[in-house]
A and B are shown apart, each in its own frame.
Chain A
Amino acid sequence: MDIYQKDQLDLVEATMADDGVIRISVMPLMESAHYLAGAMLDSDDGRQRVQLVRCGVSEECAVDVKAEVTQGTPDPYTLTLPDASQPVDLVYADGTSTTIFSPN
């Protein structure tokens, strides 16, 4: 199990859904030996930190939030964060980060 690097993610978008949660849409690099299992969550100084977990197909990867995808399609994965009150930073394997959501 490892964490996705920035250049292994083709698309990451985070939006507030009608039900007040954050929906994150992710398109990781297509890989048949690995998949997006979900995310590890952490909070630090009023900000949510999210790390996307890259899991080998023969592994079981424990995550805080599971990634959902419609099987049999090339669609992006979706993750749901229940707390939309704090900004969300996506943290990459090298420790750098990008803010992907800021509350209004």
Chain B
Amino acid sequence: MSKVVLGIHSNVTSGDKTGGHAWISITTLGRTTCYGLWPDEHGRTIDNGSGTDIRRGLETIAGARASRYYELTPTQAAALHTELGRNVTWNYTHNCSSWASDVIARVVGEDVDADDMSLLGAESPRQLGASIRRLETRSPTSRMSPVPAGAAPTGSSAASSW
């Protein structure tokens, strides 16, 4: 089976508490596809009614200010496929950063914390971006050099607890 690398990205690490965006990427056979959670009401999205708010192809990795990468085992790749097939709805308290963080937690078991204390614990892209940066400081990754397949999670990226 060809190598599959899962990435998690944010384009902000500070600023406006509802600003910025977080998404995931999948690289296999040299080709990268991005997925993100977007509401039907957004000017950029096609309103698909009750269909999933997981959208493909609205992002590129080039826009990321913080990124982390994981090589997947076959079991993890199957879990990722399951995640992408879920019908997920965007809302302010389950937004792009919530979804991206959930995918990483469910697929590879690492906690990329997106909880924003100024939002009473709701997730934000800026918090996700800051958490990615903290994890990358401890154990840097890249698309070419991801966390090895099957490696134990580094642990929580949370800066502090409640």
Contact = CB atoms under 8 A, between A and B. Distances in A.
A96 interface: no
A32 B57 contact: no
Given A35-B42, A69-B43, A71-B45, 12 more contacts: A29-B19, A29-B21, A30-B11, A32-B21, A32-B95, A33-B18, A33-B92, A58-B41, A69-B44, A72-B46, A72-B55, A74-B60
Interface of B: 11-12, 18-21, 36-39, 41-46, 55, 57-60, 63, 90, 92, 95-96, 125
B95 A74 contact: no
Interface of A: 8, 10, 29-37, 55-58, 67, 69, 71-74, 77
Contacts of B45: 71-72
A32 B43 contact: no
B90 A32 contact: yes
Nearest to A74: B58
Contacts of A32: 21, 36-39, 42, 90, 95-96
Nearest to A77: B43
Contact of B41 (A30, A57, A67, A74): A57
B11 A29 contact: yes
Given A29-B11, A32-B36, A32-B42, A72 B57 contact: yes
Nearest first, the 6 closest Cβ-Cβ pairs linking A and B are A35-B43, A30-B21, A32-B96, A57-B41, A33-B18, A72-B46
Contacts of A71: 43-46
Contacts of A31: 18-21, 125
Contacts of B18: 31, 33-34, 56
A69 B46 CA distance: 11
